[in-house]
Amino acid sequence: MEDFVARYVHDGDVVSIGTSEAGERFVKKLALSAEQRGIHVKFVPGSARLAALASACHLPMVSLNDHEVDVGIEFAAQVDEDLNYVKRDTHSLILDKMIAQSAAELFVVAEARHLVERLHGSIPFEVAAFGWKRTLAALERMGRASLRLEHGTPFKTETGNYLVDVKVDNLYSYEDLDFQAKDLAGVLETGLFLGYADKLVLHDKHIRLIDRADHLKAFAHPEKAL
């Protein structure tokens, strides 16, 4: 992934990375690549954990209040052929959505085996801690719902909320699920990221890049994709 940073992150860029363990590892790669190439990048930390790591790596930080993001990098658990994706490894879906919306160019990184025809399985929801049992019961209507735990206690996001994972067997409409969930008073954000990704980076033994613009052109003019 060092080659990815060298190719797509340029001198003067404002960079942000979604909250996750994979994101934390990537901060180190970003700082190392910038130092080796002698370029200056500014980092918008999406969480206190990322801020602490960036500080330890001597990566200059700025606020989303003052800077828009040039390059956003996110790590997806699952992505479909239209570049919609599900994020499960997160410290706050609210912060992740803010980064995704700010990014002029959002790169989504996923294992090649996690590219699917239709999103399915576990979808996380960030919910208010207040009345969470009531929210959990409401989400049960969408699938098998469970509160995410850490060491036997509710996992608390960077924004002080809880995460509920809902097992969805047949996701007939991403938009409907996203809308219906957010219509519940206790649901603050969903793990469905629809239409945010500009480029998809698939990796196994090799790295493959899919550009949203080229992808849409191929579907608009299928004869040119042959």
CATH number at residue 145: 3.30.70.260
Alpha-carbon span 164 to 226, nearest angstrom? 43
d(CA 200, CA 53): 25
CATH number for the domain harbouring residue 50:
3.40.50.1360
Residue 60's pLDDT band (cuts 50, 70, 90):
very high
Q: Computed from CA positions of residues 63, 65, 66, 67, in that sequence, does the dihedral angle turn out positive or negative?
A: positive
Residue-number span of the structural domain to which 129 is assigned: 121-191
Domain membership of residue 127 (yes or no) is yes
Q: Is residue 84 predicted with pLDDT exceeding 60?
A: yes
* Residue range 162-169: mean pLDDT, rounded: 92
63 in the same domain as 175: no
Q: What is the mean pLDDT of the chain?
A: 91
pLDDT at position 168 is: 86
> Predicted confidence band at 5 (pLDDT cuts at 50, 70, 90)?
confident
More confident call, 204 vs 154: 154
Domain presence at residue 91: yes
How many structural domains is the chain composed of? 2
What confidence category does residue 216 fall into, taking pLDDT thresholds of 50, 70 and 90? low
Name the pTM for this structure.
0.90
112 and 125 share a domain?
A: no
Q: What is the pLDDT of residue 107?
A: 97
Q: Is the separation of the CB atoms in 69 and 102 below 8 Å?
A: yes
